[in-house]
Structures are given as C-alpha cells and as structure tokens.
Amino acid sequence: MSSKKKTTKSEKKSYRNLLIVESPSKAKTINKYLGTDYKVMATVGHVIDLPKNKLGVDLENEYEPLFETIYGKGKILKDLKKSIPKEGSVFLAMDPDREGEAIAWHVANELKLENAKRVSFHEITKTAIEEAIANPTVVNVNLVDAQKARRVLDRLVGYKLSELIWKKIWYGLSAGRVQSVALRLIVEKEEEREAFLSEEYWDVSVKLKEDNGKILTAKLSKKDGKKYVPKSKGEVEDFEAKMGDSKFRVKDVVKRDVKKHAYPPFTTSTMQQSAYNALGYTSKKTMGLAQILYQAGYITYMRTDSVFLSSKAVEEIRSLVSSRFGKEYVPEKPNYYKNKSKNAQEAHEAIRPTDFNLDIKLVQKDLGVAAAKLYEMIWKRTVSSQMAEKRVQVLTVSLVPREPSSPEYIFTMGGEITMFDGFRKVLGTKELEDDLQEICQITKGDELEKVEFVNEQKFTLPPARYTEASLIKKLEELGIGRPSTYSTIISTIQGRGYVEREARSLFPTDVGRIVTNFLRNSFDRLMDYAYTAKVEDELDGIALGKKKYVPVIDREYKMLQEGINIAQESVKKEDVVILGESEEKCPECGSGTVIRVGRYGKFLSCNRFPECKGMKDLEGKEDTLDYNKYFKPEECPLCKSKLVLKNGKYGKFWACEKYPTCKGLVPLLLNEKCPECGYHLVERKGKWGRSFTGCSNYPNCKYIKKVKKSKAKKDSES
C-alpha cells in the first residue's frame, strides 16, 4: 500500500520572493541566475487591455479607460495571486519601457500589491539582474500615463474614424492615428511616380590606351568647368565630331586624404533597416528574432533609440579589439556618438551583445541560423563602433583632348585607395581594383591614346518606391511613431489590404488610395506629418512628467470629433470611392463613366449615378481564366443575358451583366462533372478553411472528390 505525504502550503512556497516578467522565455533565462529563494513567473504579455468590441473609454469621466482582463488571462492572474509569498517580496521585472511599465502597473493593481518592487534591467545577465534586485524602485506613474494616453488616443482615433469610413466607403475598413499617416507616405510616393516625366540623357565615356597597352575608361563630367550631361543624340554626335581622333592629356591629378569614422551602434530603427538591407529580414522578423536573442540573454534590450554604450561595454570592446586585431585598431579615446532622438535616455543603451567573447556557433545551436545571423550583425556593428577610423586616399584624374577646343570637355576617372582599413576590418572592405592600381601610376601631363567613345542612351527614373527599410528611415526622420512601433505599423497597413509588396517595394492598393484620399481631404490636420510628430512629442512630455494625460487627450479628441462632424455633413459616399474618369461610355445611357472602387475591386460606373446605375466590371479578367479547367456558362439562368466574371468575398463568380436589375449568379464551375448525378463539380472550402472539390448540386448530391495523397506526404505523416 503506497502512502502519499500531504503537501503543506508552507512547503509549496519554499521560495521567499516572487519575480514576475512578461515572457516565459525571459522567465526561463532569469531562473538560471536566481536561487531557490525566488520563483519566476510570466504574465505572457499584457493581462489587461481595452475591450475589443466597444470604445472602452469613458468620455464623460476624464477619458478614463475601461480596462478589462484579457480573455484567457484570468487564470494567469489567479495563479500569480496564489504564488505571492506571505513573507518576502514581489518584484515586477517587466521590460524597461512604457509598455513594460504599464504591464507592471496593471499586475500590481490586479494582485492588490501594496509594496511591489519595480526592477528593470537592459540585459538578462546574472550581474544585471542581481544589481536590479538590490536597487528596486517603484512603478513610474508618468510612463504608465504616457502608455495609457497612447492606447486611449489610438483607440479614439481608430474607433471613431473607422465608424465614419464604414459609412462613407464600406463596412470593414479601418484607420489609425499613425498607420494612416504611414500609408499616406506610400500613396504620395506612388503619386510622385505617376506624375514623373522621364527625360533622356546620355552617358558618354572614352576608352583610353596607355603605353603598356592597358585600357582605361574615363567618363565625361564637365563642359567649361560646369557639370555636363548630354541630353540628346545630336549633342553627342556634335561633341564626337569636335573631338575627332585627338589624344587625351592628363590635365590634373588630385589626391586627398580622407578619414571615415565608424558607424554608431544599433538603435531599434537602424537595426531594422540594416537587417532588411543586409539579411533581407522584414521588420517583423527582425524584431521577433531580437526579442528571442534578448530573452535568451545574448543581447541587451532591443527597443531603444539610444546609441549610448556603458563604460564597461566600451572597455570590453577595446580590450577585444586590441588582442584580436592589434593596438593600432583601438582609437586613443573611446568613440562617442550623439543621440539623434531628442528624448533618448542616456541611461538606456544601444543594442549590443552581453558577452563579446561568445562563440556565434553557440547562438546558432541554441536559436538557429536566422537568429545567429542577426546576432553576428549586431556584434560587428557594436565592436566596429569602437574601432579606429578608416583612412583612404581619394584619387581623381582629369583628362582633356590634347588639341585645345572650345568649349573644353573634361573627362574624369579615379576612386579611393584604402591606406588603413580601421573599423572596416570587422565590417569588411572592398579590394583595390586593377584599374585603380593603373590609375595610381598616372601623372599630370601624361598622354593617352583614344581607342573609342562609348555612348549609352538612358532615361531618368521615377523616385523609387519605399522598401521597409526606407519607410522606417523616413518615419524616423519625420518623428512619426516610435522605433518599437514601426514593425506593427508596416504589418498593419499590409494586413488591412492597403499596401502590397512587389519584390522588395511597397505600393498602395486601390483601397489604400481611397482611404488615404478620404482622410487627406477631410482630416488634413490628422494626416499632417508635422502634426503627427507633435503628438508624439506630447506623449513624450507625459512620460517626462511635463504634460498631463487629460488635457492632451481632451484637446485631441475634441478636434477629432469636430472633423468627424464636418465630414458627416459634407462628404457624399458616392464621391469618395471614385479613382478617376474613364474614356468608356455607360452601357445603359451612353454618358461618361468614372472608375470606382468597390469592396471586391474596380468597376466602371455611370457619372450620372445614382440617376443611372449602369456599370461594368473591371476586375473579373475573363481572359486570364483557364477554360481547360473551368466551365464558361452561356447565359444568365434568370434572364438569359450575358454573364460577366466578377470577384467576390469568397473568390470569382459569374454575374448577370444587367446587375443590379437582374441578380442572376452562377458559381465558378469546373469542367469536370459529378460521377453520381452529372452536375458540374465546384471548388469549395470547409468549415476549418480546408479546400475540397464537391458537387455543385449540394445538398441534393453530397459527392466529394477524394484526393490521393502524394508519396512525399505519406512519408512525412508516417
């Protein structure tokens, strides 16, 4: 007979202190550094938030947020409450930012903690954790208010504007305080591209032969001392006629010594930009990997706009550089970088490794290749930031025709020669090109024989679309949003269908343009770049204790509501969804048509709407349909008129061309017929999103086509 000893409450709580964090991964790492006196638990993110399906802000009571427990977090709070030691302390160790402070405040309130100790650290190392616990503080109410203000303001703007957009455009669309401004940037860049007029120009070069037979290339750069680019073939031909077969003489050789300073260590923004450009990581992926690296204890906190490095970190880097690369790579004094962000806190550090001697193979083994690549990029940037300058010699050789001519045409060639690689020892540097080695030997007065002119017609290109990296850079320049929000901003405008990606570029959809045009025309203040940046400054002011929550929110909400009231009265729904005019005529009355955007794509609409409801679909694209696979019905089942292909919420379908007068519909049928009843088969989706092929005569016929599993799939399941 087995006997079980009854566990007492005191035995259950063998620990004396409870330390609460947000993430289970973070808890796991911290647990390695603390003894049995501590129990580490995680909230798994926020536990309290505004309700999902209502405004959740008391407009009559100083904009008090009506916070509620997030679904599923009640049990977590209950477990935390049970784990509070009767004697000892509770430490709130959430992330060192406004969001972390807000989580700490909510947890303290929900658990009714009277003497909770707030501890914060910027790296998860034994030393940092022990130091934080030894020097606890209290929850910073100013930071909590700043986070509350951001959350409430975003809810008021998003909720109220979205309600208006549902009325003026269609249900399901939404707007956001910062996301809509970011979308405006992308829309305006596309408008710049469309308005751009390309101009012709010519690249003109001359191939020259030295006495040793080596061929060098010089580019036409000036005409009578001024920058010159030929604009037409005629200009090029005229120039060549004047040049003839004259040899070229070296007019001047200029050598300049230039020093190139190392780059500062990463902030959140510059890390996202570099990871996108160098590794091809989206901002969302970068932040996810950085979070994993931080929680595993490999890097410092990844949400920061500071380029400051602690004296301890600087000493470690200088020692490492000296031993690994040589004393000449260590500058006489540590490199100092000034923060660009005016509210960056000097106590916060840039993103850096916690151990500069850690073997990257350990990171890869622990967290995988993608995380290891990001870690290596952070390591190189941080170490190189404290290395000596790169010294280069910039060489410029100017050549003119030996026979003097008027006007004087000047050709140039050259490059830069690395004299000392400095910080580039870590970041990498280009090798000296063979041509540049030859150019170095050229002296003033030398003559080179002309081999031939090389002319290439080109055209100016429109401004490039934003990539994630360039959009983040622009947002930071304008002071819109904060680095920690950039990833969410970009994900949100793509998730809403306002922006799509083509290769690495971001471009607006028709729906994105419609929403932007509406907001830009009706809420110019809200969509203004400078104004949006000013609001960020107001939120920073609350965090610093210089501004108060209620006055800031009250002013913003009243101006928002005023704009909404005006738009309610002055904006007509039928005018909002117009993209532009069309050359086609209305199929009903022969009047002109305009291009409108509907829920499921673009269509032509009579410009006399609503008097005339003539329309034509532009999104069906019948010519792209595979008729070997899909069946094309002959006529409308109700009125025998022609059917047109349209896009709907659940995919393509056939609709009567006389819609809305006739509402005849036919699903997109397959040519293949049901073996049981002879009706056409159709592609469907089940309750859980799984695709299958069934009979279009359902529910009279419940035939479902069986799909044979591929050998590879069978093997993977076995």
Locus of tokens 């300073």: 261
DSSP 8-state assignment for residue 94: -
First to last CA, the chain: 42
Quote the tokens at residue 31.
């647990």
Quote the tokens at residue 664.
């005849």
Going 515 to 517 to 520 to 521, the CA torsion angle's sign is negative
Pseudo-torsion of CA 304, 310, 315, 318, nearest 10°?
A: 30
- The angle formed by the CA atoms of residues 604, 607 and 610, to the nearest 5 degrees, is 100
> Is 301 a catalytic site residue?
yes
Q: State which amino acid sits at residue 639.
A: C
Residues 6 or more apart whose CB falls under 8 angstroms from that of 444 comprise 250, 251, 252, 253
Among residues 63, 281, 298, 301, the one annotated as catalytic is 301
Residue 560 in contact with residue 157, Cβ under 8 Å? yes
The CB density around residue 65, as the number of other CB atoms within 10 Å, is 19
Give one word for 290, left, alpha or beta, with left for phi > 0 and alpha for psi -120 to 50.
alpha
- Residue in 353, 381, 348, 357 with CA at minimum distance from that of residue 265: 381
E strands along 640-704, which residues? 643-648, 651-656, 665-667, 669-673, 680-685, 691-695
For 105-126, letters b (16+ CB in 10 Å) and e give bbbbebbebeebbbbbbbbbbe
Using a 10 angstrom Cβ sphere, with 0-12 exposed, 13-18 middle and 19 or more buried, the burial of residue 415 is middle
CA distances from 235 to 208, 218, 230, 240, 287 (A): 21, 18, 6, 9, 52
Angle, in degrees to the nearest 10, between helices 510-522 and 549-570: 110
Residue 92 in contact with residue 140, Cβ under 8 Å? no
Contacts of 195-199 with C-beta under 8 Å, sequence gap 24+, read 196/462, 196/463, 198/459, 198/460, 198/461, 198/462, 199/231, 199/459, 199/460
The CB density around residue 510, as the number of other CB atoms within 10 Å, is 18
- Residue in 515, 527, 663, 536 with CA at minimum distance from that of residue 146: 536
DSSP 8-state assignment for residue 213: S
- Residue in 590, 579, 669, 664 with CA at minimum distance from that of residue 619: 579
d(CA 518, CA 178): 16
Contacts of 18-21 with C-beta under 8 Å, sequence gap 24+, read 18/80, 18/83, 18/84, 18/85, 18/88, 18/89, 18/90, 18/91, 19/90, 19/91, 19/93, 19/119, 19/133, 20/80, 20/90, 20/91, 20/92, 20/93, 20/94, 20/107, 21/93, 21/94
d(CA 503, CA 569): 42
The catalytic site residues sit at 301
